[in-house]
Structure 1
Amino acid sequence: MKHIVTVQDAVTAFADFIEPTDAELDAIELESPVILAEVDLLDAQIKAMDRPANEVDARRIRRARNRVLAARRDVANRTVGAMLPGGAA
């Protein structure tokens, strides 16, 4: 019979590294508008599932998709601008 040995010491040895770093928190903060827009889109899609399709739900989903695209565009433009040295030419 084999005995199961716990690996608690190996897991808890890295407890200091479990917390996210400042760079990871900055990345999450940078992407938070996209995350929130995607949550709104998901909410709109869930609301539309509960009843027959109608024009109001279609508009709500379309607007939510547009907000997701706009948020993704803004984040992409912000990250590209931060990575390129110098100003606009």
Structure 2
Amino acid sequence: MNSIVTVQEAVTAFAEWLEPTNAELDAIDSEMPVILADVDLIDAQIITLDRSPSELDQQRIRRARRRLLTARRELANQGAEGTSGGVA
């Protein structure tokens, strides 16, 4: 009779490989303002799904869209600062 071996040991043996690295966590942390601004925009849009948007709803969506664009611009500028070289 063959013994049944659990796969649990093999799965948990590689658990450290599945964890995000510090560089990946730093990248997520730097993108967090964009993520939160995107969530705010989606929330503002969800509010208007079941009704026609009022002026206040439209202002909320525009404000959230501007925050998202600002966060994306700042993230892009942070990336550009790191890659700017001394080209003369």
TM-score category by the smaller chain? 0.7 to 0.9
Q: Kindly report which structure 2 residues correspond to 1:1-89, keeping only aligned pairs within 5 A, or say none.
A: 7-85=7-85
Give unmatched runs, 5+ long, in structure 2: none
State the identity as a percent.
61
Q: CA RMSD in A?
A: 2.3
* Residues matched between the structures, number: 85
Q: Structure 1: how far apart are the matches of 2:22 and 2:65? A: 30
The AA in structure 1 aligned to 2:59 is: R
Normalised by the length of structure 2, the TM-score is: 0.80
User: Any idea what SS the aligned residue of 1:49 has?
Assistant: coil
Normalised by the length of structure 1, the TM-score is: 0.79
Deviation at 1:10, TM superposition (A): 4.2
Deviation at 1:11, TM superposition (A): 3.0
4+ residue segments displaced more than 6 Å? none
